[in-house]
Amino acid sequence: MQVIRMSMARRVLVFVLRTLSRLLLAVIRLVSFFSPKPPCLSPPQDPLLLIPASVLAEKIRRGKVKCSDVVQSFIARIQEVNPIINALVYDRFDEALHEAKAVDDLVSSGTQDEATLKENYPLLGVPLTVKEAFALQGMPQSSGLISRRSIHSEHDAVVVSRLKRAGAIPLGVTNCSELCMWYESSNNVYGRSRNPYNSQHIVGGSSGGEGCVIAAGGSVMGVGSDIGGSIRMPSFFNGIYGHKPTPGIVPNDGQFPNAHGTERTELLCTGPMCRYAVDLSLVLKVMAGQNVEKLSLNKDISLHSLKYFSMENDGGCLFVSPMDNELVEAQRKVVKHLEAELGVSVQPIKIYNLRYSFQIWTAAMSSDCSEEQSFTDLMADGGTMWPSFELLKWIFGLSKHTLPAIALALTEKLASLNAKGNAIMIQKAKDLKEEINSLLGDDGILLYPSHSKIAPKHNEPLAMPFNFAYTGIFNVLGLPVTQCPLGLSEAGLPLGIQIISSPYNDHLTLALAQHLEKSLGGWTPPGSI
């Protein structure tokens, strides 16, 4: 009898959640229908915008192209597209052109031969953009918080410093969600970023401006951070490549907010976002510094000898939307390709505990946070904030915060109060980690959806706020993941897939991403179809 009652309660909960979600979606879509349609992007025409970072660096070192011309081309592209997409929120164009001239002078001086230049400056002269949450000297670092909009960085974050020392030239900083905790990049400091393939759709978050400007051809590589999918969702929604490394490989220092001294430290990862798969390893090496020795990025990979597994959905989480059919078909296309081209067998699997991905991520974020500022504390920025009162202010248009940030602050304490439930989910996470690591070993790859929906329209995530669980679970499990684009949907929006391996086997996912780029195609320029 008790089992029957629990089953009935579950059905009622599912019905209520889906009904509320559909009603909210209907309202959002009705408002969107009557909103003016923004202009579309045209594809980049300048050939310099279509060259991978590794090739650009080589051409600059050899004097085949001038760094000044490269940087000017990217600046012109940003100036062309940014009024539509609102991706770059603060530029340093004058400084970038000055640094480009210094690169040209270095190359023309002949004081260092090509081999020495490659060793000292593997990214010589390559344009770079940086998520605004990272410190870039002279640039703002508000993370979308109004109380921080006047703060400018006096130094560089560690990864930014390493990229600059490797010869990369930052063009500016890009938009993110408020305090980097929502999967639509919109805030009250810079406004909303818009998808380059259809500006009525989201760019993802929190590294959404970064994914957007790279996809639009305004940058070839960038810096992102990921605590629940903040590299991978924007890479997916914008049709580019992103990599969440094994935790601890790339330093998180120099971003706001950061995670120190708690369980969240293991969840947060800094990593590369690139238009071309071939660039991920190079940028990751620079970002990782000496920690790159913990990986095997130079190891030759025989893709034919690996084990492959595929799971097409999370198994049926109550809180997450059903999978879009086009995403399922895109994943099946990858499976068929691997089996036909590599002669491997891709085993379909069902991992039961993945259906609890959202609950597990929430429990992990609530665990052992006594030494860390709460999200509400971060929003208050040294002051006092009452989330319920802030919601009332928002209703009347008086709040300085976005609705998703207020909602997270409201639910934060509720999640932390459920100690018993959290403990159960933390144990599930441990079991799940052991199960997947045992399954993959050191030669296994898991194919898994990036998200349950193709890039939604603006504000639609409010009706399906937990869909990030498809990416967030792998932060908890500490697994390296490469986000890989798979062409465009019938509506012209990017498709994609996550490629997962066990810890310190990043080279496997990166190698497969390069293979799929060569065989199935990678980034598709917006406006080209």
What's 308's DSSP letter? E
Residue 206: asked if its preceding bond is cis (omega within 30°), the reply is yes
Task: Please give the pLDDT value at position 77.
Answer: 98
What digits encode the pLDDT tens for the residues 317-366? 988 999 999 999 999 999 999 999 999 999 999 999 999 999 999 999 98
Give every residue of the chain whose pLDDT is below 70, as ranges: 1-18, 20-22, 24-25, 27-35, 259-264, 368-372
Catalytic residue among 230, 235, 501, 502: 230
Per DSSP, the three-state class of 325 is helix
pLDDT at residue 368, as a whole number? 56
- Answer yes or no: 131 catalytic: yes
* Mean pLDDT (the chain, rounded): 93
- Beta pairing partners, 222: 129, 273
Selection from 147, 291, 62, 197 nearest residue 523 by Cα: 197
This prediction has a pTM of 0.94
Amino acid code (one letter) for 222: G
Active site residue 206: yes
Identify the CA nearest to 355 among candidates 391, 384, 323, 398.
323
- 64 token code pair: 């085949």
Catalytic entry in 153, 206, 207, 310: 206
- All structural domains of the chain: 40-520 (3.90.1300.10)
Q: Decide if 404 contacts 423 (C-beta within 8 A).
A: no
Whether 413 is catalytic is no
- CB atoms under 10 Å from CB of 418, counted, come to 15
- Decide the pairing of beta strands 127-131 and 169-174: parallel
Cis peptide before 245 (omega within 30 of 0): no
Strand partners, 90: 173
**Active-site position among 21, 54, 68, 131:** 131
What's the CA angle centered on 227, arms 222 and 230, to 5 degrees? 45
Burial-class residue 174 by CB neighbours within 10 Å (0-12, 13-18, 19+). Answer: buried
CA–CA separation, 237 vs 242, rounded Å?
11
CA distance 234 to 197: 13
